[in-house]
C-alpha cells in the first residue's frame, strides 16, 4: 500500500508540488496510525505506507539506483567537496557499505529516521564500515509559515559541511531535535547560527554563509535534480544503490545497523 499521489496535470509538471502532496499524505497516515496501533509501531507503519516502490523502468540515475545526478549547470555558489551526486559525504569513501540519505530538515518522517538511526550512522562512519552521504533538499517551505525554513536549513547544512564535515552529523542531530512544527514559524537565522556555534562551527564565515543564504540557488537546483531522478518522498534511504523499503530498518532503533553490517562483509 502506498500514499496517494495526485494525477493532476500541475503535479505531473511540478515534482516539488508532487513531493509536497506525498509528504502531506504521509503526515495524515501517521496521524491515523497513532489512533489505532501501539505507539512503538506508528513510525514503522507510517513510513511503510509512505515509501513508494521504485519504478522497474528507472534508469541508472533513477529512484532505484541511489545514483543522483549532479547539478551541472548552476548559477551561484556551489558547496565544495560534494560527491558526484551532490551529497555531503561522511566517512571512508572506499567503505564497502554506502548509505545515501535524502532528507528535508522540515520533514517529520525524516526526523523519525534520524532519531532512530543517527547513532548507528555515526558509528558506521567512525569505524569505517560505511560511508554516509546526505542529499539535503528543500520542498517544505510552505510548512514554515512563510519564512522559507526548509530552504534556509538546507543552505545551513551545506554551509556547515563545507566548513568541517566531521561535525556535520552532530549538527544534523540537533537540527532534527529542534525541528519546528509544521505550520509554525521556522527557526530564525540567529537560531540556526547558534546551533552551528554550539556544534563547534565558530568560524565567522559559517554565520555569514547562513545569513547570506549562500547556497540558496544550489539548494533549489539540487532539489530539482534529485526529484528528477524519480524520488517520490523523504526520507529516501539507499544502501549500496538499492532503496531500503523495510520500515523496521528505517524506523526502529538502530534498525539500519544489521543492514550495514551485512553490506560491509
What is the tens place of the pLDDT at every residue in 74-84?
778 999 999 98
Neighbours of 228 (CB within 10 A): 13
What is the per-residue pLDDT for 112?
Answer: 98
Cβ atoms of 153 and 187 closer than 8 Å: yes
Q: What percent of the chain has pLDDT over 90?
A: 68
Q: In this predicted structure, which of 8-17, 19-28, 221-230 has the lowest mean pLDDT? A: 8-17
Beta carbons of 97 and 240 less than 8 angstroms apart: yes
Closest CA to 138 of 189, 178, 104: 104
pLDDT, position 232: 87
Tell the residue number behind the cell numbers 497513532, with chain if given. Answer: 34
Rounded Cα–Cα distance for residues 130 and 90 (Å): 9
Mean pLDDT for the chain overall:
82
Is the CB of residue 30 less than 8 Å from the CB of residue 233?
no
For residue 44, name the pLDDT band (cuts at 50, 70, 90): very low
Q: Provide the whole-model pTM.
A: 0.78
Is 252 strand, coil or helix?
coil
- For the cut 60, the answer to whether the pLDDT of residue 43 exceeds it is no
Say yes or no to pLDDT of 172 above 80. yes
- Give the mean pLDDT of 53-75: 48
Cβ–Cβ contacts within 10 Å for residue 7, how many?
8
What φ, ψ does residue 41 adopt, rounded to 5°? -100, -5
Sign of CA dihedral 156, 47, 39, 139: positive
Q: Which three cell numbers stand for residue 67?
A: 545514483
Average pLDDT over every residue of 174-193: 96
Q: Rounded to the nearest 10 degrees, what angle do helices 189-198 and 204-211 cross at?
A: 150
Mean pLDDT over 58-63 rounds to 32
Res. 46: pLDDT tops 60: no
Cis-peptide, bond into residue 235, ω within 30° of zero: yes
pLDDT given for residue 75 in this prediction: 76
Taking only the tens place, the pLDDT of each residue in 232-261 is 899 999 999 999 999 999 999 999 999 999
Predicted confidence at residue 76, as pLDDT, reads 86
For the cut 60, the answer to whether the pLDDT of residue 54 exceeds it is no
Amino acid at each position: 500500500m502506498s500514499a496517494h499521489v495526485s494525477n493532476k496535470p500541475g503535479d505531473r509538471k511540478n515534482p516539488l508540488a508532487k513531493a509536497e502532496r506525498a509528504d502531506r499524505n504521509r503526515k495524515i497516515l501517521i496521524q491515523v496510525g497513532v489512533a489505532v496501533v501501539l505507539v512503538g509501531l506508528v513510525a514503522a507503519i507510517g513510513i511503510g505506507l509512505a515509501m513508494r516502490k521504485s519504478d522497474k523502468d528507472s534508469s541508472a540515475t533513477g529512484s532505484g539506483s541511489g545514483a543522483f545526478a549532479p547539478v551541472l549547470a548552476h548559477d551561484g555558489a556551489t558547496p565544495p567537496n560534494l560527491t558526484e551526486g551532490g551529497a555531503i559525504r561522511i566517512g571512508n569513501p572506499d567503505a564497502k557499505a554506502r548509505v545515501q540519505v535524502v532528507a528535508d530538515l522540515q520533514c517529520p518522517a525524516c526526523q523519525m529516521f534520524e532519531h532512530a538511526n543517527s547513532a548507528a550512522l555515526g558509528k558506521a562512519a567512525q569505524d569505517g564500515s560505511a560511508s554516509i552521504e546526505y542529499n539535503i533538499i528543500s520542498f517544505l517551505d510552505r510548512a514554515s509559515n512563510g519564512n522559507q525554513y526548509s530552504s534556509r536549513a538546507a543552505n545551513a547544512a551545506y554551509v556547515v559541511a563545507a566548513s568541517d564535515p566531521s561535525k556535520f552529523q552532530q549538527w544534523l542531530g540537533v537540527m532534527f531535535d529542534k525541528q519546528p512544527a509544521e505550520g509554525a514559524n521556522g527557526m530564525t537565522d540567529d537560531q540556526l547560527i547558534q546551533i552551528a556555534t554550539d556544534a563547534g562551527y565558530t568560524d565567522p564565515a559559517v554565520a555569514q554563509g547562513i545569513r547570506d543564504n549562500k547556497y540558496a540557488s544550489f539548494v533549489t537546483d539540487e532539489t530539482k535534480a534529485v526529484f528528477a531522478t524519480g524520488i517520490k518522498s523523504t526520507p529516501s534511504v539507499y544502501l549500496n544503490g538499492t532503496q531500503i523499503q523495510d520500515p523496521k530498518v528505517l524506523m526502529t532503533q538502530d534498525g539500519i545497523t544489521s543492514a550495514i553490517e551485512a553490506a560491509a562483509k
